[in-house]
A and B are shown apart, each in its own frame.
Chain A
Amino acid sequence: EIVLTQSPGTLSLSPGDRATLSCRASQSVSSSYLAWYHQKPGQAPRLLIYGASSRATGIPDRFSGSGSGTDFTLTISRLEPEDFAVYYCQHYGSSGYTFGQGTKLEIK
């Protein structure tokens, strides 16, 4: 079973800053099956990135995804107030879906 480890656990930044979130898989995975979501308090998760680097419909271009193999990155180029949330990476494999434990992006 593939384990996804996200880092850091909490990231404290200010609006306008650049955010870099990491997702590391316990073994090499297909980029096609790597996705990113964010979740605000009391809301359902929202798809941001699929296929490691493709933005979902309606997602602003300040969000970008990259990586391959075991290391994947979500970058937010200039943080907006609405970007402060919890971010999850997700992988689809033979055992079904796996989520990382999440990175909380908080206002500094």
Chain B
Amino acid sequence: EVQLVESGGGLVKPGGSLRLSCAASGFTFSSYSMNWVRQAPGKGLDWVSSITSSSSYIYYGDSVKGRFTISRDNAKNSLYLQMNSLRAEDTAVYYCARESPLLSSYSYMDVWGKGTTVTVSS
């Protein structure tokens, strides 16, 4: 079964740091670009960051640029998000999501984890 499982969420004070992980199984992780997408309480979806299969290209949304770092370990089938200088507005459920196949003519996210909750509060 194709599966993504996030972990590492929790309560952190403003200015603090947190590292999220996403464990992939059931597919060849090293062949896919991966994404982090977040959803603040009661709000819509907000793309956070993308990383290509070999980590050659990395992209960030404007709201997290310079504070968050995406990375992956293909040997461990894992995706990470290092979050520094956290703010109250970073409070959200964070999802990891698999991107469409490398050679696809399309771009979409076809597999999602259940998410992990990050709360930034003093």
Contacts and interface: CB of A to CB of B under 8 A. Distances in A.
Q: Are A and B subunits of one complex?
A: yes
Interface stretch (B17-25, B74-82, B111-119): B111-119
B47 A98 contact: yes
A39 B46 CA distance: 14
A47 B44 contact: no
A67 interface: no
A54 B106 contact: yes
Given A32-B105, A44-B95, A92-B107, A99 B112 contact: no
Contact of A45 (B45, B100, B106): B45
Contacts of A47: 108-110
Contacts of A22: none
A43 B112 CA distance: 10
A46 B94 CA distance: 15
B54 to A, nearest CB: 18
B61 interface: yes
Interface of A: 32-33, 35, 37, 39, 43-47, 50-51, 54, 56-57, 86, 88, 90, 92, 95-102
25 contacts: A32-B107, A35-B108, A35-B109, A44-B112, A44-B113, A44-B114, A44-B115, A45-B109, A47-B110, A50-B106, A50-B108, A54-B106, A86-B44, A90-B109, A92-B108, A95-B59, A96-B47, A96-B50, A96-B60, A97-B50, A97-B109, A99-B44, A99-B46, A99-B47, A101-B44
